[in-house]
Copies of this chain bind each other. A is one copy, B any other.
Amino acid sequence: MPAETSQTVVPRDAKTVRPAAAARPRKAPRSRVVGAQALPLNQILSGDCVERMNAMPEGSVDMIFADPPYNLQLRGDLHRPDNSKVDAVDDAWDRFDGFSAYDRFSRAWLKAARRVLKPGGTMWVIGSYHNIFRVGAALQDEGFWILNDIVWRKSNPMPNFRGRRFTNAHETLIWAARDEGGKYTFNYEALKSLNDGVQMRSDWVLPICSGGERLKDEAGRKVHPTQKPEALLHRIILGATQPGDVILDPFFGSGTTGAAARRLGRAWIGIEREEGYRTAAAKRIAEVKPYDMEALQTTRSRRAAPRIPFGQVVERGMLRPGMVLTSADGRRKAKLRADATLSADGTTGSIHQVGAAVQGAPSCNGWTFWHFEKDGALVPIDWLRQQILAEVEA
């Protein structure tokens, strides 16, 4: 793709982006005139998102997805235990001069975003604990009405290498209506069928964006440090918009919103300051093949079988720290501790480790080896796991 001379980037085949709603024209227009101003559809606008949004007609957009800078405030380098260096987010666009500067930034773009939303429009914002509380409070102050907060539980997050905190395994999304009482779009049935027939919950398990989906440059480096998975946008767009709706992303980045919107037959508008991101996003979106409407019906999410750690049995009070577990024949004994480890014969460790140790065996399935007394009989602790499993699955 040649260097851009105009201010906006238009995918080569923008004309084939066809909103699917019957009432829409067959050929998607490059712009839709609303009031005196034109609405630039299926294009990536350059420049500052507040200025760009303020130049757009009021009340013209059905949904906004925003992935603003997180204000991470990282200090030094971080190395993995194998001494390799973590490629952290250190871009200039993520640096702010303290909370108040970040708050001013947030209020400015939120105000502009709210102005361009239709009365029944909704907004999605994603963030982490570094910024999401400030953004959430600011959007409430601006008059948005929160409908849900959604947790994106990452199936494959980066671990905590130093062992000083919990693995940061999720990000938070806020779904908000422009106004309290607004008649927003929520495709309850579509999401329910996406979720194997049970209503969609506020926690979504999805992998991070990696593999073939992750945009790379010629040298194999990631194009954007925080590219979002298209599956996340798929669920958001499917649940909160109708085919043909206009979706605006003021922090367009690698263009995931545009790619998912095009695939799902929605119109989109991106705003992005960095030319490199605009170029990569335009190329990416141009290569997207929109789904047949029919294909939308068949999408299903996989649900992995949950793993139940032994610790849950203890936390839930099903076994009491201090009590003694025994083997089936009652000859081996071990004492349960509050962190769900066992201690016996001077060794401590997991149910599996201690089970192996007391037998002098190389390995052991502690779930079936260790028993507790219930109503006068010895019952394997695996019975307790089955109770939890049945509850979690239900």
**What is the interface of chain A, defined by CB distance below 8 A to chain B?**
79, 83, 99, 128-130, 132-137, 140-141, 146-151, 153, 155-157, 159-160, 163-170, 172, 174-175, 186-191, 193-197, 199-203, 205-207, 213, 230-231, 234-235, 238, 264, 291-292, 294-299, 301, 306-307, 309-312, 314-317, 320-322, 335-341, 343, 348, 350, 359, 361-364, 391-392, 394
Contacts and interface: CB of A to CB of B under 8 A. Distances in A.
B137 A133 contact: yes
Contacts of A169: 201-203
Contacts of A306: 205
Contact of A321 (B157, B292, B350): B292
A341 B299 contact: yes
How many copies of the shown chain assemble into the complex? 2
Contacts of A135: 133
A146 B140 CA distance: 21
B168 A202 contact: yes
A298 B337 contact: yes
A311 B235 CA distance: 9
A301 B163 contact: yes
6 contacts: A150-B166, A193-B341, A291-B322, A295-B322, A298-B338, A299-B339
Contacts of A151: 151, 153, 170, 203
Contacts of A299: 339, 341, 348
